[in-house]
Structure 1
Amino acid sequence: MAIKPELQDKFNTQFETPTPIQDAVWERLSDGEDIFGLAPTGTGKTLAFILPMLSRIDVKLKRTQVLILAPSQELAMQTTAVAREWGALIGVSVASLIGGANGRRQSDKLKKDKPHIVVGTLGRVLTMVDGGALKLNGLQTIIFDEADAMLTEERHDSLQELANQLPEDVQLGLFSATSGVDLKYVADTFHREVRPISVGTDAPASIKHEFQYVDQKARANMLIQLARNNQQALVFFNTISGLVNMQATLRHAHASVMSIGSNDKRQVQRADALRLFKKGEVTLLLVTDVAARGLDIEDLPLVVNAQIPQSKKTYVHRTGRTGRMGKPGRVLNLGNDHDIRDLKRELGDDFELVKAVNTFTQKADALIEKNKPERSRSDDREQTTTARVATKTAQNSAPVLPKAKSTPAPEVIEKPKKKKRSKVSKDKGKPKWANKRES
């Protein structure tokens, strides 16, 4: 049997049937095959590799047998939680190795517990290998989650360093929503021929893709209105600077907002932001593409591209945060005429983008009329002119609320400059196992 009975029983109580990617890879992974699993986002890829990996582990052997690598701290934490939940049924221990956490504590735990599964980011894993805390000589399987983001050219030196530490007969598993992986490079580096197994990379039909023409000020106003109407959304940015500036603007307007876009933040801060967003205590979560890779946020209603992605691959990964497992979802793309035209050209016929219905504009018009007080004819003419200008502005760009009911639109606040510290100050007290490649 591909999956151990205890795991299969739990799966059957939670799901009616395996998803196509789970059905396609369970037996192959259990048999030790080297595969590249391709499936749309939100189709159960994590359990597609977790359950057969758990089923292959010999719990009597106190050593690390499976290594799972993720491109971001958030995805590594999420995968760790899934592995621990299911592994507890059969006595499998799981450790998490991510940058931003206490490295000395991680090192001590590895030496003491010798976990069966290690989930982590590449930099921190290599640090633990270099320091002798993590032993890979007993490894039987290595999984690259979000493989198109893991096996990139800028990581080649680190990947080669990892490959040099792996046993010759290690099983290789790659998983992604897009096919942007150089399989020749994989074969040359890891000396394994992986077999592509695709169950389609098309966008789920349950997701509605919309666009709204905006300028910079209108973009901020749109996000402010989403927050004020308690419309929870994951908001994507192409750059850290764009995210930081927008977060300052939204906080100035007292919007409920947090972010996980910067790797400079402590891991606990990033974890808190994600936890509060999942609990519904934060309305807008601002993210960059790397930070949001593979995030599984149950029943997320809306993804907003505050900055339009430059490639179809990036668009697929972003939009996959909503509409997961066949549930309905919505994507709102904010940009000027040039941005939207380029996006439509990049996506081609695979995605149907429709003009968003601006419900906030309609609410603004209604509030203007409702709150209009009685006054003289001259004042009335002045008020009518003001209402027309406000309505026209809202229809052409961003939602506008009446002055009696809203705060003024905030100005963008530039990111404050950090005080420079000397190199001696920065490195003072750093443990030997810490280095710059952990992110």
Structure 2
Amino acid sequence: MNEIKELQETNIEKFKDYPLDSSIKRALSELGFKQPLEVQAKVIPMILEGKDLIVKSQTGSGKTAAFAISLCQKIDVELESPQVLVLSPTRELTEQVKQDIYDIGKYKGLKCCALYGKQPMEQQRKELKQNTPHVIVATPGRMMDHILNKNVKLHDIKYLVIDEADEMLIMGFKEQLEAIIKKIPKDRVTLLFSATIPDEVHFLSQEYLRNPENIEIEPQVSNLEKIEQIYYAVDGLKKVDFIKKVIEREHPRKAIMFCNTQEQVTNLFEIFRKWGNFTCAVHGGMDQQMRTEKLTAFKRGEYKMLIATDVAARGLHVQGITHVINYGVPFEHEQYVHRIGRTGRVDQHGIAITMVIPSEMARFHDLETFLGYKIPCKGGHVDRRPKVDSTQKKGRERYKAGNRGQKALVQFNAGRSNSSLKTSDFLAAIRHVNGICNENIGKVDIRESVTNVEIFDGKEDIVIKALKTKKIKGKLYRVKRG
């Protein structure tokens, strides 16, 4: 214990100086981990000491390694039973976290598994029984399925990690999270990681964490400030040839090209495959095993470019992405931010390029309004240097929590007793209202027969007017001021 307190008080500059097993240090060395990032330096000593934590840290800050390194150290490999449960919002993030934990703990003999949908339950049940993991990484829905089917024993769980907590609550996993937490021992360490701490995350932490330490990692440079954003106005019939020229001139070391449809992914992959064997593709219609194999190969550097739908926009953390290319303007403004956030991570700069055809120009200008700045048009000129347009800085405050105006309540006559709607259903409906963005929406409070939604910045009348004629999950609900 004294060693850990000394660790907290000392600014350790290298992982080799941490009190970690030699097997973990060997894995970290092979992975290229030399000096801890800020979130790792603050989090690792506290997890080793056994404290509950609430960590506010943006995506790409190194938080996964922060809890993975610590928990690999704490796990008793001689105990053939699950000791760590990590809950994450998406299949892709679940697989990513599982791989990260395996890579760090492999020489210690640590076993882990990933549980998520679109994969046979029976296959996962056999893995849980025959190859009892020390660590389970799971989406809440699939974890609940295994608990209800009595496929997993959780009596030895000593650590619970709730990763991307804000995303899980936005996606409507609150009830499943609470049900899972009630099934694991109360005598545990709980670690909550979130890019933002909205009210729902705060309430969750109050309910299930014991005297947690709060750690907030402020990015030295906003992710968006590290990304040069440009667009090209192109003719739809010439877009493929034009994008080839852009790629040839940019020479990206590693790139992701996002498409709006599965059909676009398939067609572009067939075209790019003829130019050379440097491209792979993933989309939601592919077999899960095939998607996982392609994503793993891309991360390992076997391919220079990944062509994908937005299935890869969230939870895909790949080091060294130099370019993000939007083959078309995304339909959701928030999706643009998630896409381009695949580059410019940690201490790197990146370039985000968007191809805009005439029919998308109005949607593109709406995107600029949402961002709060103009994205420069490069025409036919390609500038390789990742410089940042100064006007982009004006919009960065839009992504900081708490920067909201006056609050009002909008009430729907739909609650637990008279509807099957979830938090995510209300959020999805409101987000599709013209003029409404994430920052305008607050807490969703589902009660017995009504649901109250916080709306900021005087936008409640816009929401009420739109939702009076807009169906939610195929049904109209009465809506008024709360």
Is TM > 0.5 for Structure 1 vs Structure 2? yes
Match of residue 320 from structure 1? 341
1:234 alignment counterpart: 256
Report if the CA contact (8 A) 2:257-2:305 is conserved.
Answer: no
**How far did 1:185 drift?**
3.8
Q: How many residues align?
A: 352
SS of the equivalent of 1:143 reads strand
In the other structure, the counterpart of 1:18 is 36
CA distance in 1, matches of 2:379, 2:227: 16
Q: Which runs of 5+ in 1 are unaligned?
A: 362-439
Which letter does structure 2 place at the counterpart of 1:320? G
In the alignment, what sits opposite 2:365? Answer: 341
How far is 1:330 from its partner? 1.0
Distance 1:337 1:344 in 2: 11
In 2: Cα distance, 1:12 partner to 1:252 partner: 38
Measured against aligned partners, the alpha-carbon deviations of 1:253-278 in whole angstroms (never above 9, x if no partner) come to 4556654331x432112123324444
Equivalent position to 1:330, from 322, 347, 351: 351
From the superposition, tell whether residues 101 and 125 of structure 1 become closer, same or farther in structure 2 (CA, over 3 Å).
same
Displacement of 1:70 in angstroms is 2.3
Alpha-carbon offset, residue 22 of structure 1: 0.8
In structure 2, the partner of 1:57 is 75
The residue aligned with 2:436 is none
Counterpart check, 1:207 vs 2:231 = no
**Among candidates 314, 328, 344, match of residue 293 of structure 1:** 314
Q: 1:309 to 1:66 in 2, by over 3 A?
A: farther
Shift in alpha-carbon separation, 1:204–1:52, aligned structure 2, 3 A: farther
Aligned-pair CA distance for 1:18? 0.8
What's the CA shift for 1:19? 0.5
Match of 2:380 in 1: 358
Aligned to 1:304: 325
Q: What is the aligned-residue RMSD (CA, Å)?
A: 3.3
Matches within 5 A, 1:73-152: 73-152=91-170
Query: Quick one: higher RCO (CA 8 Å, sep 6+), 1 or 2?
Result: 1
Q: Which whole-Å deviations, capped at 9, do the CAs of 1:376-398 have from their partners, x for residues lacking one?
A: xxxxxxxxxxxxxxxxxxxxxxx
Cα distance, 1:225–1:249 mapped onto 2, change above 3 Å: farther
Q: Secondary structure at the match of 1:197?
A: strand
1:382 is matched with which residue?
A: none
Unaligned runs of 5+ in 2: 5-18, 384-482
Displacement of 1:247: 2.4
Distance in 1 (CA, whole Å) between partners of 2:333 and 2:272 is 33
Larger radius of gyration: 1
Give the superposition deviation at 1:222. 4.7
Deviations 1:76-113 (A, max 9, x none): 22222221122123232212223333432321221233
Question: Amino acid of the residue matched to residue 44 of structure 1?
Answer: G
Q: Distance in 2 between matches of 1:310 and 1:98?
A: 25
In structure 1, give the amino acid aligned to 2:292.
A
SS for the counterpart of 1:75 is: helix
Confirm or deny that 1:247 pairs with 2:247: no
The aligned residue for residue 282 of structure 2 is 260
Higher alpha-carbon deviation: 80-89 or 172-181: 172-181
More divergent stretch after superposition (95-104 vs 58-67): 95-104
From the superposition, tell whether residues 183 and 275 of structure 1 become closer, same or farther in structure 2 (CA, over 3 Å).
Answer: closer
The two structures have a TM-score, normalised by structure 2, of 0.63
3-state DSSP of counterpart to 2:108? coil
1:161 to 179, 188, 193: 179
CA change 1:59–1:131 in 2 (3 A) is same
Structure 1 residues 86, 272: closer, same or farther in 2, change over 3 A?
closer
CA distance in 1, matches of 2:235, 2:180: 45
- AA in 2 matched with 1:268: Q
